[in-house]
Structure 1
Amino acid sequence: MDFHAALDADYARLVEVSSGSLDRPVPTCPGWTVADLDRHVAEVYLHKVACIREGVEPADWPPPQLAAEEPLALLRRAYRELTGELAARADDEPSGNWYAPDPTVGFWRRRMAQETVIHRIDAELAAGTPSVDVPDDLALDGIDEVLRIFLEYGAATWPEYFVDGLAEGGGRSVAVATGGRRWLVAIGPDVLTVTEGDAPAAAELTGSPDALLRWLWRRADDTTVTVTGDPTTVTTLRSLLHAATQ
Structure 2
Amino acid sequence: MTDYLARIEAETARLATLADDLTVPVPTCPGWTVGDVVTHVGQMHRWAVHVLRNQVQERIWSFQVPTGLPEGAHGDAAWLTAGAAEMLETLRATDPSTTVWTWGPDKRASWWPRRMFFELLVHRADVEIALGVEPEFPAETAIEGIEELLHNLPEARWVTKPLAELDVEGATIHLHASDADGEWTITQGPAGKITWERGHAKGDVALRGPVRDLLLVLYNRRSPGAVTVHGDRDLLDRWLSAASL
TM-score of the pair, normalised by structure 1: 0.86
Q: Is 1:121 aligned to residue 120 of structure 2?
A: no
User: Does the residue aligned with 1:67 lie in a helix, a strand or coil?
Assistant: coil
Q: Is 1:46 aligned to residue 49 of structure 2?
A: no
Distance 2:42 2:195 in 1: 33
Q: Which amino acid aligns with 1:147?
A: L
Q: Which moved more, 1:28-37 or 1:63-72?
A: 63-72
Matches within 5 A, 1:14-53: 14-19=15-20, 21-53=21-53
Q: Which amino acid aligns with 1:9?
A: A
User: Aligned Cα RMSD in Å?
Assistant: 2.3
Q: Which amino acid aligns with 2:3?
A: D
Distance change (3 Å), C-alpha of 1:125 and 1:216: same
Matches within 5 A, 1:79-228: 79-99=84-104, 101-128=105-132, 130-150=133-153, 152-154=154-156, 159-165=160-166, 167=167, 169-178=168-177, 179-188=180-189, 191=192, 192-228=194-230
Instruction: Say which structure is richer in helix.
Output: 1
Aligned residues: 236
Partners of 1:173 and 1:233 within 8 A in 2: no
User: Does the residue aligned with 2:70 lie in a helix, a strand or coil?
Assistant: helix
Q: Which moved more, 1:43-52 or 1:68-77?
A: 68-77
Following TM superposition, by how much is the alpha carbon of 1:65 offset from its aligned partner in structure 2, in angstroms? 4.1
Distance change (3 Å), C-alpha of 1:190 and 1:78: closer
Distance 1:219 1:126 in 2: 11
Q: Which moved more, 1:76-85 or 1:178-187?
A: 178-187
Distance 1:220 1:64 in 2: 30
Q: Which amino acid aligns with 1:224?
A: A
Q: Is 1:71 aligned to residue 75 of structure 2?
A: yes
Distance change (3 Å), C-alpha of 1:216 and 1:159: closer
User: Does the residue aligned with 2:243 lie in a helix, a strand or coil?
Assistant: helix
Q: Deviations over 1:144-188 (max 9, x none)?
A: 1222312x3336x974332222x1x25221111223222111125
Q: Which amino acid aligns with 1:71?
A: G
TM-score of the pair, normalised by structure 2: 0.86
Distance change (3 Å), C-alpha of 1:153 and 1:121: same
Partners of 1:204 and 1:229 within 8 A in 2: yes
Distance 2:28 2:111 in 1: 25
Distance 1:2 1:64 in 2: 26
Partners of 2:183 and 2:198 within 8 A in 1: yes
Following TM superposition, by how much is the alpha carbon of 1:123 offset from its aligned partner in structure 2, in angstroms? 1.2
Structure 2: where are the runs of 5+ without partners? none
Q: Deviations over 1:180-223 (max 9, x none)?
A: 22211112565532222333322211212211111111111122
Distance 2:213 2:200 in 1: 21
Following TM superposition, by how much is the alpha carbon of 1:105 offset from its aligned partner in structure 2, in angstroms? 1.7
Structure 1: where are the runs of 5+ without partners? none
User: Aligned residue for 2:243?
Assistant: 241
Partners of 1:24 and 1:33 within 8 A in 2: yes
Following TM superposition, by how much is the alpha carbon of 1:140 offset from its aligned partner in structure 2, in angstroms? 0.9
Distance change (3 Å), C-alpha of 1:85 and 1:189: closer
Q: Which amino acid aligns with 2:137?
A: V
Following TM superposition, by how much is the alpha carbon of 1:58 offset from its aligned partner in structure 2, in angstroms? 4.4
Partners of 1:53 and 1:95 within 8 A in 2: no
Partners of 1:176 and 1:206 within 8 A in 2: yes
Partners of 2:162 and 2:243 within 8 A in 1: no
Runs of 4+ in 1 over 6 A off after TM superposition: none
Distance 1:206 1:71 in 2: 38
Distance change (3 Å), C-alpha of 1:207 and 1:35: same
Partners of 2:43 and 2:67 within 8 A in 1: no
